[in-house]
Amino acid sequence: MSDENHEFISREEGAGALALADDVLPETLYILPVNGRPFFPSQVQPVIVDEKVWGETLKRVANSQHKLLGLSFVDDKAADEVPAPERIPDIGCVVRIHRIQAEDGRIQFIAQGIRRFRIREWLSTDLPMQARVQYPQRSTDFTDEIKAYAMAIINAIKELVAINPLYSEELKNYLNHFSPNDPSPLTDFAAAITTAEGKALQDVLATLPLQKRMEKTLVLLKKEVEVARLQAEINKTVNEDISKHQRDFFLKQQLKTIQKELGLAKDDKTAEIDEFVQRLEGKDIPAAARKRIDEELHKLKMLETGSPEYSVTRNYLDWATSVPWGVYSTDAFDLSHAREVLDAHHAGLDDVKQRIMEFLAVGTFKQEISGSIMLLAGPPGVGKTSIGRSVADALGRKFYRFSVGGMRDEAEIKGHRRTYIGALPGKLIQALKDVEVSNPVIMLDEIDKLGASYQGDPASALLEVLDPEQNKEFLDHYLDLRVDLSKVLFICTANQLDTIPAPLLDRMDTIRLSGYIAEEKLAIAKSHLWPRVLERHGLKKSQVKISDSTLKSIIEGYARESGVRNLEKLLQQIARKAVVKLLENPKAKISVTNKDLSDYLGAPAFRAERILSGVGVVTGLAWTSMGGATLPIEAAVVHQQNRGFKLTGKLGDVMKESAEIAYSYTAGHAADFGGDPEFFNSRFLHLHVPEGATPKDGPSAGVSMTTALMSLMLNKRIKRHLAMTGELTLTGQVLPVGGIREKVIAARRSKIMEVILPEANRRDYEELPEHIRKGMTAHFAEKYADVFEVVFG
């Protein structure tokens, strides 16, 4: 009877034949689902289940005469879950249970696999689950193909045993219960010892034809051999690496011990102490500092390396011995070289270069540069930081820059005390350690943006640093040693001076950098920016060309601000788009013209400035942190029902006061300038400064506001291309204002070539470079009558 024709027989069908003990099996079985892996007839292993759920089932099985139970594989079954009958496969394994033990809500028993069964009918789907079953007919065929598969399975098992000796115990257990000449148990045993997934093993269990079952088992066994072989190789590699590292470690330890015995090597502490002592050789250390360092070295010798104090002392000595005590670089006192460096790095800024050259000339004359703190003040993008680097290059000194913008902790300047965990010296000591000389050029960037908090006031901490009379003995809280900073050349940068504390500003020599006019920007773009952009983008001059007229259009339409940083960004944008085109067509020659700018940069950000004109309209000049700007001012009559005065334009308190002074002065002196004294008594006036969303403040709009009211009173228009600045008193005196260079540049940018300035600012105007004053007409007013003469004369 073959497996294919008669897979299962019932108890009645097998009656009358001589039966073995395991052949006498009941027609009904209690069913217990298992998860993880199915159970095979050749297996003997413990099974653990939940007592609350399956306790009654096991009790009934234990009380039965045959003690047989049906185990069915259910995938993803929780321990306390009773699966639905449709989830339980038809094919399972009947087992005999031994040694039932209950403990802590769990039941453990030994299951001995007997034979496969198939569920014919469910007698009870509730607990305890019971079904009518039938059992497969054992195969009696032993063909040559089956013999071949049996040999292949045996050889695969031998390979597994050779690779992983753990499988030998499984093999001994099998040989004690079964004959290796019986292929069916051999196949089940081979499948059971693999680590295949539960579904694959259930497929083997449910395959009744012996040869097909052997084929599937052999596939699983071969995979297991490959996994075991790979695992063995990994273990071998890891063990070899570990052995090598252990061998190297032991050899190194032995070598250290031998070297110590022979006096050829030192321990870590001795080596560190020797390194600290070696660092101090050749340095000119003050006596107080030398005494303190020697004390710390002696303490380090006494401490154990595992002591917490050891690491604190070691870190202190690391910093104290890294300070370049008395180590100075040699200054290059060559004025011609310095001028070449400044001209090579910067176009324009002649007045700033001249001031720096004077500073260097004094140092050359004295053969020593010290005692002066430079402050470069100007709008963003005019080259303040790069000038500081150029000064360092001109002198041949090391350069160190750090930004103090937003700094709120004075410990960043003067260091933390050693009592704190993670204490460090201040930025200045760190700078000296990095540059390894005591006379570098240190740039303090954005000094106008220092903050203050509960952690201290860094601006006050800088007072000692930037005072030539005090920084000879600068005290860092971490080192607690006096360090000489008098040979350091400090260069600070700021966008505006208003936010710098007066005591700190008093210690610095201010050099103002105003914005560039269009001609200067064009020269900078041609000589510096465009070549640098090409180099950074890997482009050649022959690949991408841009004309002077195109650069001028970019400056006037897209980059009107005082600096050139935004101009460089725009040129980079053009270069990026050019690179995209070159990747599409590598042989292309790109020429950027005015017509192409909208494709490269979009619509112009700035329109041609329209100068407002008419009765009561005046163009004033203002200074901002971004440079100079034109400021139109408008005055108009609202109605003639009563006297009144209204201000708009988001003006600050100072500008509001200027407007009130202008109103009072114009109303009080109307007759002196040919106006009607009754004009203001019967009219409600409105003074407006356009762009009301932009805050405006500053003491320089009094003259402009007065002129707007005068124009309104006299009903006379003001010249279109005339701008003015200056503050006015109630007696008509014109007071000086600041930012003359920025304001004149703003007027030129708007093509206004005639300006009215306070008489007290005549010298400021005359000191402007010739190319800025060229073509300009400047009128100077000492009192308002002088302004009136120019405007309405």
Is residue 373 within 8 Å of 466, Cβ to Cβ? yes
How far apart CA 452 and CA 678 sit, in angstroms, is 54
Specify burial of residue 481 (Cβ count, 10 A radius: 0-12, 13-18, 19+). buried
pLDDT of 93 higher than 90? yes
pLDDT at 167: 67
CA dist list (Å): 186 to 51, 125, 192, 278: 34, 34, 10, 77
Q: What is the Cα 747 distance to its own chain's centre?
A: 42
Helix 384-395 to helix 350-366 angle, to the nearest 10 degrees? 30
- Which three-class secondary structure state does DSSP give residue 288? helix
CA–CA separation, 412 vs 400, rounded Å?
15
Q: To which H or E segment does residue 28 belong?
A: strand 28-34
Q: Which two tokens stand for residue 75?
A: 């995938």
Per residue in 157-183, pLDDT (tens digit) is 888 777 766 666 666 666 655 555 678
Q: Which residue has the tokens 């350690």?
A: 433
Average pLDDT rounded to a whole number, residues 595-618: 76
When pLDDT is averaged across residues 292-297 and rounded to a whole number, the result is 87
Cβ atoms of 284 and 326 closer than 8 Å: yes
Q: How many residues does this entry show for the chain?
A: 793
Q: Which amino acid is at 667?
A: A
Cis peptide before 586 (omega within 30 of 0): no
Question: If you average pLDDT over residues 675-679, what whole number do you get?
Answer: 85
Which entry of 700, 704, 711, 750 is annotated as an active-site residue? 700
What is the average per-residue pLDDT within 697-721? 86
Question: What is the full DSSP assignment across 87-138?
Answer: GS-SEEEEEEEEEEEEETTEEEEEEEEEEEEEEEEEEESSSSPEEEEEEEPP
Q: Which of 793, 641, 775 is nearest to 707 (CA)?
A: 793
pLDDT number for residue 168: 65
Please tell me the distance from the alpha carbon of residue 100 to that of residue 107, in angstroms, as a whole number: 7
To which residue do tokens 């499988």 refer?
A: 167
- Is 743 annotated as catalytic? yes
Q: Which of 7-11, 343-347, 713-717 shows the lowest mean pLDDT across its residues?
A: 7-11
Catalytic residue among 72, 487, 743, 750: 743
pLDDT in tens, 452-510: 766 677 878 888 888 877 888 888 888 888 888 888 888 888 888 878 888 888 888 88
Query: Which residues lie closer than 8 Å to 782 by C-beta, 6 or more apart?
Result: 733, 734, 758, 759
The mean per-residue pLDDT over the stretch 422-444 comes to: 87
Lowest-confidence range among 180-194, 265-279, 489-503, 518-532? 265-279
- Closest residue by Cα to residue 85 from 100, 94, 72, 103: 72
SS (H, E, C) 688-727: ECCCCCCCECCCCCHHHHHHHHHHHHHCCECCCCEEECCE
Residue 66 reports pLDDT greater than 50: yes
From the number of C-beta atoms within 10 Å of its C-beta (0-12, 13-18, 19+), residue 317 rates as buried
Span 182-206, average pLDDT = 85
Of the chain, the percentage scoring pLDDT greater than 70 comes to 89
| 733-747 per-position pLDDT tens digit | 999 988 888 888 888
Which pLDDT value is given to residue 734?
92
Which secondary-structure segment (H or E) carries 442? strand 441-445
Tens of pLDDT along 327-347?
888 887 778 887 888 777 776
- Comparing CA positions, the residue from 737, 738, 744, 726 lying closest to residue 783 is 726
**pLDDT tens profile 206-254:** 888 888 888 888 888 888 888 888 888 888 888 887 878 888 888 877 8
Q: What percent of the chain has pLDDT over 90?
A: 8
State which H helix or E strand residue 299 sits in: helix 287-302
User: Taking Cα atoms as reference points, which of 280, 506, 553 lies closest to residue 375?
Assistant: 506
Mean pLDDT of 47-56: 87
pLDDT given at position 727: 92
pLDDT of residue 2: 38
Contact 593, 683 (CB under 8 A): no
pLDDT at 604 over 60: yes
Say if strands 644-648 and 684-688 run parallel, antiparallel, or are unpaired: parallel
- Tell me which of 145-149, 537-541, 561-565 is least confident: 561-565
Average pLDDT of the residues in 391-406: 85
Interval 401-428 mean pLDDT: 83
- The whole-angstrom separation of Cα 624 and Cα 743 is 9
Residue 780, token pair as written in the block: 């100077």
Residue 351 pLDDT greater than 80, yes or no? no
Q: Residue 177: name the closest of 222, 132, 229, 114 by CA.
A: 114
Residue 118: phi and psi, rounded to 5, are -125, 135
**pLDDT tens digits, residue range 105-117?**
889 999 988 889 9
**Strand pairing class (373-377; 509-512):** parallel
Q: Which residues of 705-725 are buried (b: 16+ CB within 10 A; e: fewer)?
A: bbbbbbbbbbeeebeeebbbb
Residue 235's CB is within 10 A of a number of other CB atoms, namely 11
Nearest-angstrom CA–CA distance, 86 and 69: 19
CB 8 within 8 Å of CB 118: yes
Section 261-277 average pLDDT: 71
Please check the confidence at residue 609 and state whether its pLDDT lies above 60: no
What tokens were used for 95? Answer: 């087992």
**Cα distance between residue 785 and residue 733, in whole Å:** 9
Would you state the pLDDT for residue 5?
Answer: 38
The most confident of the ranges 93-97, 376-380, 405-409, 522-526 is: 93-97
Instruction: State the chain's mean pLDDT as an integer.
Output: 82
Q: Phi and psi dihedrals of 98, rounded to 5?
A: -135, 150
pLDDT of res. 18: 38
Helix (H) or strand (E) holding 44: strand 44-50
Cβ neighbors of 588 (< 8 A, separation 6 or more) are 543, 581, 582
